[in-house]
Amino acid sequence: MAHVITQACCNDASCLSVCPVDCIHPSPDEPGFATAEMLYIDPAGCIDCGACVDECPVSAIKPDDKLDETNRHFIDLNAAYYTDHQPIRRKPVALPLPSPPRRAHIAVIGSGPSAFYAAEQLLSQPGVSVDMFERLPTPYGLVRAGVAPDHQSTKAVTRMFAATAARRLFRYFLNVEVGRDITLDELTTRYDAVLHASGAAHDRRLGIDGEDLHGSVSATRFVAWYNGHPDFAHEQFDLSGETAVIVGNGNVALDVARILVSDPESLAPTDIADHALAALRRSKVREVVVLGRRGIADAAHTIGEFAALGNLRGVDIVIDPDDLRLPAATAAALADGTLDSMLAAKIRIAQRFSAQPITPGNRRIVMRYLVAPESIIGESTVAGISCVHNVYAEDSKVTATSLRFTTDTGLVIRAAGYRGSPIPGLPFDSGRCVVPNDEGRVSQTRGHYVAGWIKRGPTGGIGMNRICGRETARTILADLASGQLRSPEIPRGDVMDLLKTRGAHLIDADGWSRIDQHERSAGHRAGRPRVKLVDAAELEAVARRPKHE
């Protein structure tokens, strides 16, 4: 028997450190780690010790004989990785962290994974304290507001974040907006360093006609809506038509498609927002068309998420075999067995989907490859979307053909990716939509650091944010140790008073504990992990309640 890593893998890489036989790859020091969709266990090397199972923060590692039929394909995927990847068989050496020569206070702006991983590393050094500022009344960033509600195992990583927040030298400043309730200059003069981990909260534009019509919405808004983000809880989306179209085919697009066609009763036991569940129960959507400009060989979705679509009950995954054309070199490598095993697996999954019969009465996800939107049609409201067929040229680049078609729909969801926004007072690379930096140290700006998507762009998930946040924390500690950072001009003791005088409705650790307990208690009564509060005023009110209530 061997252990197997499954779809829930977050690339956290904590499992590598406990594996006694070095059979989990790629590791952070291997070139493929940054682009790896997940980690893989070598079945030939696994000794079935189970150490990785206990270490995995999202319960993604299972014994191969305990997998049900919906997950058994991960046995082959784990093994396939090792057919043409030669991992570096060595344990990475953990370098000692620089030790600050004095007490240091760090302000962290943002409360997502990169912020918490950085905070964890900073707090591991004696005398370093962290104050975390978050605009929302609740922490955890996209783990709370972005991870799909039917992926509860992924959200289990928040247990690690909660352990960091429970440290003696950690403080929450939730419901506090930097720039409104307290200025960046005020933080700069009161803390040894300011770490910006604000993410990339805005959607990328398509740049086509009709993009701003009513019924054309960003996946950013839609995902935040069904996850109960207070800024989007009162949004309304037209789900009265039978067909919805999603532009883009990354994991977010698959999440949205899956939520739209899933049986609402299968979502009811999750932490999906109540208003979204009610809307989905009324929804008339029976078909979701997912558009990808390039072919299956370049599809942005990961293998695990793609394969898992086949587990949806009452849903057909429809792919036209003609849409699975490959670049000539890729097709040749697939035919002679020299194609990268992971890419070959993705193509074969798509081919299996395309060969499956259609079941009358089932809902459908239609995956369209080599199709690009040209315009969204309608006068004031979306009525359809006009698309063009693409082909691969000899150089494997995608070019448009003369073949066009129109799909009737009242809902177009744009899932073309996220982008970061400028942070006032810091330099900004408008091309990459990131803050220019050197290992997290903001260019030409003393005392400011970045981590997460605002540092490197909107790529990689929880695992990459762990590497990224820890790298920035190490940079801060090194600058403290070398004396590059000056001591604060003003003691940070007046931060609370500043916030109170400005009317900020601060939520501290106790307040968040009350919110968390309220949601979990409501969830327990309903047979769910939690019932989310989605109204900012109600969140504030619950945070202020006496503990005995």
> What is the distance between the alpha carbons of residues 26 and 365, in angstroms, rounded to a whole number?
32
Within 13 Å, how many C-alpha atoms sit on residue 180's CB side?
11
Residue 265: what are its φ and ψ, rounded to 5°? -70, -20
Nearest to 6 by CA among 33, 38, 28, 36: 38
Residue 531: both structure tokens together: 């019932």
Show binding-site residues: 114, 134, 142, 178, 249-252, 293-294, 305, 453, 460-462
Show binding-site residues for FAD: 114, 134, 142, 178, 453, 460-462
Would you say 156 and 507 are in contact if contact means Cβ atoms under 8 Å apart? no
Q: Which helix (H) or strand (E) holds 141?
A: helix 141-145
SS3 291: strand
Work out whether strand 216-218 and strand 412-414 pair parallel, antiparallel, or are unpaired: parallel
Would you say 386 and 400 are in contact if contact means Cβ atoms under 8 Å apart? no
Cα separations in angstroms, 293 against 35, 374, 391: 20, 11, 10
Nearest to 455 by CA among 428, 479, 490, 415: 428
Residue 87: both structure tokens together: 């991992």
Would you say 519 and 531 are in contact if contact means Cβ atoms under 8 Å apart? yes
> What is the distance between the alpha carbons of residues 117 and 148, in angstroms, rounded to a whole number?
21
Q: How many CB atoms lie within 10 A of CB 152?
A: 18
Residue 522: both structure tokens together: 């409501």
Q: Is the dihedral of CA 28, 29, 31, 32 positive or negative?
A: negative
Q: Nearest 10 degrees: CA dihedral of 301, 257, 114, 17?
A: -50
Angle at 167 between CA 165 and CA 170, to 5 degrees: 65
How many distinct helices (H) and strands (E) make up the chain?
19, 22
Show binding-site residues for NADP(+): 249-252, 293-294, 305, 460
Q: What is the largest CA-CA distance in the chain?
A: 71
